[in-house]
A and B are shown apart, each in its own frame.
Chain A
Amino acid sequence: VENVRLLDRLSSRRAVVGTLYLTATHVIFVENGSETRKETWVLHSQISSIEKQATTATGCPLLIRCKNFQVIQLVIPQERDCHDIYISLIRLARPVKYEELYCFSFNPKLDKEEREQGWKLVDLNEEYNRMGVPNNYWQISDVNRDYGVCDSYPTEVYVPKSATAHIIVGSSKFRSRRRFPALSYYCKGNNASICRSSQPLSGFSARCLEDEQMLQAIRKANPGSDFIYVVDTRPKLNAMANRAAGKGYENEDNYSNIKFQFIGIENIHVMRNSLQKMLEVCELKSPSMSDFLWGLENSGWLKHIKAIIDAGIFIAKAVAEEGVSVLVHCSDGWDRTAQVCSVASLLLDPYYRTMKGFMVLIEKDWVSFGHKFNHRYGNLDGDPKEISPVIDQFIECVWQLMEQFPCAFEFNERFLIHIQHHIYSCQFGNFLCNSQKERRELQIKERTYSLWAHLWKNRADYLNPLYRSDHSQTQGTLHPQIASCNFLYKFWSGMYNRFEKGLHPRQSVTDYLMAVKEETQQLEEELEVLQERLANLQKSQSGDNKVKSKQQDQSKQTGLYTSNNSLANTPQEYSNDLKSFPSRSPSQGDEEDSALILTQDNLKSSDPDLSANSDQESGVEDLSCRSPSGGGCLPSEDSGKDSDEAVFLAG
């Protein structure tokens, strides 16, 4: 459709005219501008809702809201076209079969072996071994090998040594969805563990010997403590209400040696509404500070984030400081349980704060333990009441912790944002379906690609320059003693206002520091090489001049890492009185809007917004082939130059 206008939320003056295209996988808007022809690509799977607004004199407005918080406002000249687009998008954004999803057609032009290798990057067996199991207290059980015991659990689970198959099966019958207690995290240092399950089917008075034995087995697996905590992450009222439905929670009288604790995180419906309210605040036009803060408070979003982190802290403390094992559950043990177990693990074990470790964490506590990705994030059209930003909340918890502990994580904010993006994009197969069983049936590994491999390949973009493995912040347990402080929680505008470039600092400190770090490393390497050469030459008494000139060239190349100040920015609308002001000053050059900085030459090769196009993907791979810091080969003069250009123009 031609002559479509794309509006800018912040500045109604900045509408661009272009052509709208609908493909099988994307909505594409191409600007009419002469040189740049900027393109905006949106994956259908990202579309959360489409709103047709009242026709005005200028045309028919169509508002597309995306799951990654991008909001696109189009104005289509003809009502009929608008209606057609609306109907088409509704259909395209709600696939009914898995085969319709992008991951089955996405082609990054890798061969079969590379695809397989990609899937092998994260190996949970390796991870459990790294933790230290199986050992004297914990064993691997294949009782679920055909998903016969619990169809939302993986085929391999770790259970206490004294938990026989009989106990496991018995316990599973007494647990909602048969999700029996299984190991999530084992702490080598003191044998304490974090186990997870769903709620017991205890009703008001039901008991199950095997389930009680299961909890005893968990306790016995930790000889250092004579009790375990059982943490129910629900509000007490909800848990009690469940009893009327024949479910509920563990009675301390029946289970020997447990200390029961409610944590009070709200359910998926409350969270869905909370996010909705917060996004409404983000859509306000020129809100005052009060509007914003009041809206934020009213949504309750930060309160929920804090509740999850607080729960993680409680568990981490129990394990690290008290040396007591913890059994965590909610209702079905696949939402709040996943959130809380992964936050606790992150706090406890610095490995999960590395890039690889984080991928492993998600793979373990979310993917393998049957978090319902399809239902929660709407891969396929389904029940809107199942939709909830559960993993989004977890990702935000990580971000909040990153803000409090800037040196403790090997990865940066962009890593988190891209993961969130791909949870919804369905470009890769990792987050499809609701369980391992379903994924195997669909042969995901044989038919799609792994996100982890993609992220790993582009890991240079995701590093945190302040991370050092020998730093005090990265050792051992993270102690957010201050987590009880409400004032430390910030609104994550990098995520919820991700696409509003005007809101963010124009230059990325992270990218700058990474560039500096890389340059320093390369210079150090080159210095070593030159020193060697010098030593050799001195032995042979010739060519001093040659060496000197090389060093001079070197010094010219330094100092190129100044932030690019040609990224002028434009003022937003500060006043309605100054309507006569052009929004761009000719002296600063046209179109310095930093969104335009994302041209082919200097985009971060990993940016999913642009790499969603598979053609671009392959073109862009060349850019990501710069030698990572500390690479094995000796840099020649040429490669030094390449890395200089490599970009410090991030937006």
Chain B
Amino acid sequence: LLRSSQPLTGPNRRRCREDEKLLGTILDEGERGFVLDTRSAQAAKQARMSGGGTEPKSSYPQWRRLHRALDRGRPLQESFIRLVEACAEPSPSMDRWLSRLESSRWLGHVKAALSTACLAAQCLDREGSSVLVHGAEGTDTTLLVTALAQLILDPSCRTLEGFQGLLEREWIEAGHPFQLRCARSASSHARGKQEAPLFLLFLDCVWQLSRQFPFSLEFGEQLLLTLFDNAYASPYGTFLCNNEKERSLCKVKESTHSLWAWLNQPEEKQKFLNPLYSHNPLVIWPSVEPQSIQLWQGLFLRWIRPSQHLDEAWAEMQRLVEGN
């Protein structure tokens, strides 16, 4: 599984021998690979006008291109805002609630993200083919897909430790611009294109996986909520800045504490573990039918619905498992 940003083909269909050679080294003679472009075919084509583009078949003969349009940027932010507003408003009727849920399109984004990640995973697991994922900049939907695909495929990413490693690799070090994306959350109505809840979308997808595979993730919902909180506002330096370069310039590692260090302390760790966890060596294929994708109540209704009864249920579950 590889990731990158878009090739700078441009309107004149430039070529780059080194890039072609690099991709060439990945595949053996006669092998096929897939390029999974997270933009629609049309958007990718239009990108050429501003200097970007896609890998032309002629220059990359062994690679077959698949397009799966995933929303990011402004549309995703709007979706998020609409959902939060729908949850906050005490809806007078069920019809109105369902209609607002539908028009926010958030669950549609969850479905699309999971489907695309599953597609990437299928290429790897079923076809035995390599996959290169990219969108435009390679910092948003690209990371969403590669991180989810690894969770689906690799059981070691589903342990608490492995998941932290996955986040470090695929989100933090890979350069997802947290500073820009996670500034204001759902309160940001700013025109700027920078605010967007990609990371939240990722966490939501992980939550969907945990619901469909309750035994297969070593961590529980509490971890996902904590990560969500810390991405936006944190006493720790883990999610600061936009990339490794900035973190190095700001001397983040020297002047702040790491979220992981805190999380991994034995007393804290307990809260984040899933009492039902048992190592599942197999690939976990989620269902992406609409009935299988649910609203992440624990996050979106967190401050709205009283969670007492659900907390009690969780505590009872822990008690049962620990008692054993």
Verify if A600 is at the interface (C-beta below 8 Å from B).
Answer: no
Minimum CB–CB distance for B62 against chain A, Å: 16
Q: How far is it, in angstroms, between the C-alpha of A544 and the C-alpha of B97 when the chains are bound?
A: 68
Contact with A along B87-119 (1 / 0, CB 8 A): 100110111111101100101101100010011
Verify if A531 is at the interface (C-beta below 8 Å from B).
Answer: no
Verify if A507 is at the interface (C-beta below 8 Å from B).
Answer: yes
Q: How far is it, in angstroms, between the C-alpha of A497 and the C-alpha of B324 when the chains are bound?
A: 33
Across the two chains, which residue of chain A brings its CB closest to B300?
A: A487
Verify if A54 is at the interface (C-beta below 8 Å from B).
Answer: no
Neighbouring B residues of A572 by C-beta, 8 Å: 285, 287-289
Q: A407 touching B316 by the CB < 8 A rule?
A: yes
Verify if B313 is at the interface (C-beta below 8 Å from A).
Answer: yes
Verify if A263 is at the interface (C-beta below 8 Å from B).
Answer: no
Verify if A292 is at the interface (C-beta below 8 Å from B).
Answer: yes
Q: A296 touching B316 by the CB < 8 A rule?
A: no
Q: How far is it, in angstroms, between the C-alpha of A282 and the C-alpha of B289 when the chains are bound?
A: 10
Neighbouring B residues of A296 by C-beta, 8 Å: 98
Q: B282 touching A562 by the CB < 8 A rule?
A: no
Verify if A506 is at the interface (C-beta below 8 Å from B).
Answer: yes
Minimum CB–CB distance for B38 against chain A, Å: 14
Neighbouring B residues of A563 by C-beta, 8 Å: 215, 276, 278, 280
Neighbouring B residues of A485 by C-beta, 8 Å: 90, 304-305
Within 8 A of A (CB), among B208-260: 211-215
Q: How far is it, in angstroms, between the C-alpha of A407 and the C-alpha of B95 when the chains are bound?
A: 29
Neighbouring B residues of A582 by C-beta, 8 Å: 126
Contact A292 B290, CB 8 Å, known A468-B316, A481-B306 = yes
Q: A575 touching B122 by the CB < 8 A rule?
A: yes
Q: B281 touching A565 by the CB < 8 A rule?
A: yes
Q: B122 touching A581 by the CB < 8 A rule?
A: yes
Q: B94 touching A302 by the CB < 8 A rule?
A: yes
Contact with A along B63-105 (1 / 0, CB 8 A): 0001000000000000000000001001101111111011001
Neighbouring A residues of B295 by C-beta, 8 Å: 487
Q: A486 touching B94 by the CB < 8 A rule?
A: yes
Q: How far is it, in angstroms, between the C-alpha of A486 and the C-alpha of B88 when the chains are bound?
A: 12
A520's contact among B214, B284, B309, B323, by CB below 8 Å, is which? B323
Q: B127 touching A581 by the CB < 8 A rule?
A: yes
Residue among A10, A472, A517, A575 having the largest count of chain B Cβ atoms under 10 Å: A575
Within 8 A of B (CB), among A500-559: 502-507, 509, 512-513, 516-517, 519-520, 523, 558
Neighbouring A residues of B285 by C-beta, 8 Å: 569-572
Neighbouring B residues of A385 by C-beta, 8 Å: none
Neighbouring B residues of A487 by C-beta, 8 Å: 87, 91, 97, 101, 295, 297, 301, 305
Neighbouring A residues of B281 by C-beta, 8 Å: 565
Q: How far is it, in angstroms, between the C-alpha of A293 and the C-alpha of B94 when the chains are bound?
A: 12
A512's contact among B215, B287, B288, by CB below 8 Å, is which? B215
Across the two chains, which residue of chain B brings its CB closest to A300?
A: B95
Contact A406 B290, CB 8 Å, known A300-B95, A487-B295, A519-B324 = no
Verify if A196 is at the interface (C-beta below 8 Å from B).
Answer: no
Verify if A624 is at the interface (C-beta below 8 Å from B).
Answer: no
Verify if B291 is at the interface (C-beta below 8 Å from A).
Answer: yes
A578's contact among B122, B282, B309, by CB below 8 Å, is which? B122
Within 8 A of B (CB), among A102-157: none
Across the two chains, which residue of chain A brings its CB closest to B64?
A: A577
Neighbouring A residues of B297 by C-beta, 8 Å: 487-488
Residue among B97, B121, B301 having the largest count of chain A Cβ atoms under 10 Å: B97
Contact A303 B282, CB 8 Å, known A503-B291, A520-B323 = no
Verify if B292 is at the interface (C-beta below 8 Å from A).
Answer: yes
Q: A489 touching B125 by the CB < 8 A rule?
A: no
Verify if B200 is at the interface (C-beta below 8 Å from A).
Answer: no
Q: How far is it, in angstroms, between the C-alpha of A589 and the C-alpha of B316 when the chains are bound?
A: 36
Q: A512 touching B290 by the CB < 8 A rule?
A: no
Residue among B119, B214, B287 having the largest count of chain A Cβ atoms under 10 Å: B287
Q: A404 touching B317 by the CB < 8 A rule?
A: no
Verify if B14 is at the interface (C-beta below 8 Å from A).
Answer: no
Verify if A288 is at the interface (C-beta below 8 Å from B).
Answer: yes
Neighbouring B residues of A488 by C-beta, 8 Å: 297, 301, 305
Verify if A629 is at the interface (C-beta below 8 Å from B).
Answer: no
Contact A471 B316, CB 8 Å, known A507-B214, A574-B119 = yes
Q: How far is it, in angstroms, between the C-alpha of A578 and the C-alpha of B127 when the chains are bound?
A: 9
Verify if A234 is at the interface (C-beta below 8 Å from B).
Answer: no
Neighbouring A residues of B87 by C-beta, 8 Å: 487
Residue among B90, B125, B305, B312 having the largest count of chain A Cβ atoms under 10 Å: B312
Q: A306 touching B126 by the CB < 8 A rule?
A: no
Q: B312 touching A407 by the CB < 8 A rule?
A: yes
Verify if A297 is at the interface (C-beta below 8 Å from B).
Answer: yes
Verify if B294 is at the interface (C-beta below 8 Å from A).
Answer: yes
Contact A571 B99, CB 8 Å, known A503-B287, A578-B119 = no
Contact count band on A: 35 or more
Minimum CB–CB distance for B114 against chain A, Å: 9
Q: A294 touching B291 by the CB < 8 A rule?
A: no
Verify if B321 is at the interface (C-beta below 8 Å from A).
Answer: yes
Q: A513 touching B320 by the CB < 8 A rule?
A: yes
Verify if A491 is at the interface (C-beta below 8 Å from B).
Answer: yes
Verify if A429 is at the interface (C-beta below 8 Å from B).
Answer: no
Neighbouring A residues of B121 by C-beta, 8 Å: 571
Q: B122 touching A516 by the CB < 8 A rule?
A: no
Across the two chains, which residue of chain B brings its CB closest to A481?
A: B306
Verify if A473 is at the interface (C-beta below 8 Å from B).
Answer: yes
Verify if B293 is at the interface (C-beta below 8 Å from A).
Answer: yes
Q: B118 touching A571 by the CB < 8 A rule?
A: yes
Q: A287 touching B290 by the CB < 8 A rule?
A: yes
Residue among A297, A473, A502, A571 having the largest count of chain B Cβ atoms under 10 Å: A571
Verify if A466 is at the interface (C-beta below 8 Å from B).
Answer: yes
Within 8 A of B (CB), among A392-430: 404-408
Verify if A490 is at the interface (C-beta below 8 Å from B).
Answer: yes
Q: How far is it, in angstroms, between the C-alpha of A567 and the C-alpha of B125 when the chains are bound?
A: 17
Verify if A499 is at the interface (C-beta below 8 Å from B).
Answer: no
Verify if A260 is at the interface (C-beta below 8 Å from B).
Answer: no
B290's contact among A291, A465, A468, by CB below 8 Å, is which? A291
Minimum CB–CB distance for A71 against chain B, Å: 14
Neighbouring B residues of A520 by C-beta, 8 Å: 320, 323-324
Verify if B279 is at the interface (C-beta below 8 Å from A).
Answer: yes
Q: How far is it, in angstroms, between the C-alpha of A427 and the C-alpha of B33 when the chains are bound?
A: 56
Q: How far is it, in angstroms, between the C-alpha of A581 and the C-alpha of B66 when the chains are bound?
A: 15
Q: A505 touching B98 by the CB < 8 A rule?
A: no
Within 8 A of B (CB), among A570-618: 570-572, 574-575, 577-578, 580-582, 585, 588
Residue among B91, B102, B285, B324 having the largest count of chain A Cβ atoms under 10 Å: B324
Verify if B167 is at the interface (C-beta below 8 Å from A).
Answer: no
A-B contact pairs, 23 of them (CB 8 A): A282-B291, A289-B108, A302-B94, A306-B94, A407-B316, A408-B309, A482-B305, A486-B97, A487-B297, A490-B294, A497-B291, A506-B213, A507-B214, A509-B214, A517-B320, A563-B276, A565-B280, A568-B283, A571-B122, A574-B288, A575-B115, A578-B126, A578-B127
Given contacts A293-B101, A572-B288, 16 further A-B contacts (CB under 8 A): A289-B290, A291-B290, A294-B99, A294-B102, A303-B95, A406-B313, A408-B309, A487-B297, A488-B305, A493-B292, A513-B317, A571-B121, A574-B119, A574-B122, A578-B123, A585-B125
Q: Which residues of A contact B (CB under 8 A)?
A: 10, 282, 287-294, 296-297, 300, 302-303, 306, 404-408, 465-466, 468, 471-473, 481-482, 484-491, 493, 497, 502-507, 509, 512-513, 516-517, 519-520, 523, 558, 561-563, 565, 568-572, 574-575, 577-578, 580-582, 585, 588
9 cross-chain pairs, A with B, having the tightest CB-CB distances, nearest first:
A292-B290, A406-B313, A297-B98, A486-B97, A293-B102, A571-B285, A303-B94, A289-B108, A493-B291
